[in-house]
Amino acid sequence: MPGGNTRTTIHQPPFPLTIVRGEGARLTDADGHVYVDFLGEYTAGLYGHSHPVIVEAIREALADGIVLGAPNRYEARLAEAVCTRFPAIDLVRFCNSGTEANLLALSLARAVTGRSGVLVFAGAYHGGILLFSHGVSPLNPPFEWVVGEYNDAAGAARLIDEHAHELAAVIVEPVQGAAGVIPGDPEFLHVLRAATEANGVPLVFDEVMTSRLSLGGMQEALGIEPDLTTLAKFVGGGLSFGAFGGRAELMGRFDPARPDALQHGGTFNNDVLTMAAGAAGLTQVLTAAEIARLNGLGDRLRDRLNAYASERGIAFRSTGRGSLVGLHFTREPIRSEADVPEAAELRALLHLHMLERGYSYGRRGFIALSLPLGEAEIDGFAAAVEEFLT
């Protein structure tokens, strides 16, 4: 593996931790050190490690065989659970990652509209080959990208009006995760919906990270129905998973019985273990009450850190919404990638300090809370950050 790595995000100097066990909200590394997990596998670990309901669902499915090469009973259960939670999803198809889900959603929009342009927003991360941090990644597919500024409602509406004849889709994260956990203004997101509807351009909500913030994701919280929605992470129970769905007139093109059907293959699209784990998590574990509790813990952490820094005049700010939290070294509001300070040395020092204190999170300042966490862990994490800032 180049540099001993097969996933760029988890590399960290001088060397990454090697984790050998996870249980609940705790991780144990190869040297026996234990950490409270505040990373939550970048939102895929919402249920924590080895949740008994998820483990039992996998065990039961495993007993029936894992590579059946045919429809199985678990995929229908998961499809029903997804469509029930997301009213904008009439029909859904499964794949293997958020990257794949977003590629398929955009490719569907291009096929249906006959157009090739896609409006994205600076700082967006829609997958390993759909990366728009400080420009367009050279690994991205050669679509005709139009890049707007996140949270600039007027600018986005203008771009949609100007490029409507070439746009196959507008894709947006309701909260930009990798850019710094930056919430989208409700006005900005509603303007996107209005402008795309007015111009006949499909709107894609990338809810790969944000679907955890309510039973029906951010679209439910905001009262917005996109044309297409992409999901991944925890929705598959913590296993490799992706999904895309939306309006029947769009998704219906994948019906194999149609003469104009679009083909969508994938050996592991309906992987038995993933389907079983995902269905168990959505139907037996993740309730509205648990989502509200976890969002409250995120608010508690964010509010405490912001109050501490503000009262002492420290250049530090916590961003996010609900159980998604970002950490930044600035006093200024953060509304887009351009507002995020680099502060690489401070970020690295804080991260190492927190590891020493027994807390693991994303080295760029990314936090995704998991269900096993409680107030004691939140307050302990906050106290450790405050110690660093003092």
**173 alpha carbon, distance to own chain's centre:** 8
119: burial class by Cβ within 10 Å (0-12, 13-18, 19+)?
A: buried
How far CA 323 is from CA of 302, 314, 319, in Å, comes to: 10, 24, 11
Could you tell me the end-to-end alpha-carbon distance of the chain, in angstroms, rounded to an integer? Answer: 40
Cite the active site residues: 125, 206, 233
Residue 356 in tokens: 């020493």
Please tell me what DSSP assigns to residue 352.
H
For residues 271 and 66, the answer to whether their CB atoms sit within 8 Å is yes
d(CA 274, CA 281): 10
Sheet holding 359-360, edge to edge: 19-23, 26-29, 34-37, 359-360
Residue 329 in tokens: 């070294």
How far CA 127 is from CA of 26, 217, 232, 311, 362, in Å, comes to: 27, 19, 11, 38, 17
For residues 381 and 327, the answer to whether their CB atoms sit within 8 Å is no
